[in-house]
Amino acid sequence: MKTFEIIEGGVCAAKGFKASGIYCGIKKSAVPDGNESPVSGQKNDICLIAADVMCNTAGVYTSNKVKGAPVVVTKKNLEKSGGKAKAVIANSKNANTCNADGEEKAMRMCELTASALRIKPEEVVVASTGVIGQILPIEPIEKAVPILVRKLSYTGNAEAATAIMTTDTVKKEYAVKFTAGGKECHLGGMAKGSGMIHPNMATTLNFITTDCSVSVDMLQKALSEIVKITYNCLSIDGDQSTNDTCILMSSGLAGNAEITEEGPDFDEFKAALYQVMSNLTRMLAKDGEGATKLLTCICSGAPSLDDAITVAKSVIRSPLFKCAMFGADANWGRILCAIGYAEAEFDIKRVDVSLGSCSGKIQVCQNGAGVDFSEDEAKIILNEDEIEIYIDLHSGDISATAWGCDLTYDYVIINGDYRS
């Protein structure tokens, strides 16, 4: 797809969007007193995104049968509002999932935000991430909302991006500018995610904003199509979250004629959306829990997009393959194994596999069988921190890319003590 100029600002890059983030003490007892800035030395755990105008809004959510209360409430809100929203409130440290009072607490977060911003509760998107099955304390959030509103800023994107981090080691933001209807438009977003990532028609927590004017229906169409080839092609550990939420909001303040149907402007918008979402996906993969290597699997020669995605993602999610990449071991048999159990159409006897990085590229399999290659050369290639796996099915002309990371000792350490 076409590429666009990268700009600063994350969720605040588009006209009409402010954000803020603070530490309110969701996991610990300490909370701000209502007049002070975030507690010194503590990482932000709650954020607010607010628009100057009512926004057309689209969403994609987890398909896990166990859904976090915020997912349920957000879907209800957008259905009630007809796809309109003006604010997002999101917290980390607690997923508000599998709790008897979960929906009540999620709705309370919407009510608090709506009251402070003087809008309707159904015009608020709510999201949570963190530990499952622990009661969400509402008192810190009640004290935090007025502070969040007071701190809203057109440059508050970094504080907000930090607030949704859990085991993430870095905040994840990306934004671009493009042209639609002769007007300069902006599109940017922020994401979180490090573990429990294996989306399926869903995402981690992702919030994307644009000032390009797009109808609700076309926003939803664009989001669903781009999620399929970005976030849904991501796998850290094969575990699909209960709280996956991706929200796309349009303020329309760029001044272009509203995009209501397919055409050049819609294609341009989708290309910008792809650039933002694919780069956020790469960031999520590279920051996988305990990861030392970003893995990118490119599957070409497939008979269909679904087949290409299925094969690429099957390899990326294989624990054995991920362990081999951690050890810089060119154990290509694990790749063939993962290709073999993928539910896709191809002839394994026609499959070629190569491994690459900035140190070079080496073929390890041809026509479904091994070829002679230098283990020493392969070791040098695989010792880099970004590895590419090239698979050619020779069964069509469609390709797809999936992203993931290696599986390390630290992944087990992190998840063996996650609740503390």
Q: How many helices (H) and strands (E) does the chain have?
A: 11, 15
The Cα angle at residue 402 between residues 220 and 219, in degrees rounded to 5: 10
**How far apart are alpha carbons 124 and 78 in whole angstroms?**
8
Alpha carbon distances (Å) from 373 to 321, 376, 379, 410: 18, 9, 11, 31
Q: How far apart are the first and last CA of the chain?
A: 43
Alpha carbon distances (Å) from 386 to 165, 198, 277, 287: 23, 20, 19, 12
| Tokens read off for 346 | 């191809």
Nearest to 83 by CA among 44, 118, 123: 123
One DSSP character per residue, 191-251 reads EE-SSS---SS--SEEEEEE-S-B-HHHHHHHHHHHHHHTGGGB-SSSPPPSS-EEEEEE-
Dmax over CA atoms of the chain, in Å, equals 69
Nearest to 298 by CA among 288, 283, 286, 313: 313
Coil, strand, or helix at residue 36?
coil
The shares of helix, strand and coil residues in the chain, as percent rounded to the nearest 5, are: 35, 25, 40
Nearest to 270 by CA among 166, 185, 394, 153: 185
Identified catalytic residue from 203, 210, 245, 281? 203
Q: Is 129 a catalytic residue?
A: no
CB atoms within 10 A of CB 169: 12
| Tokens read off for 55 | 């926004």
Active site residues: 203
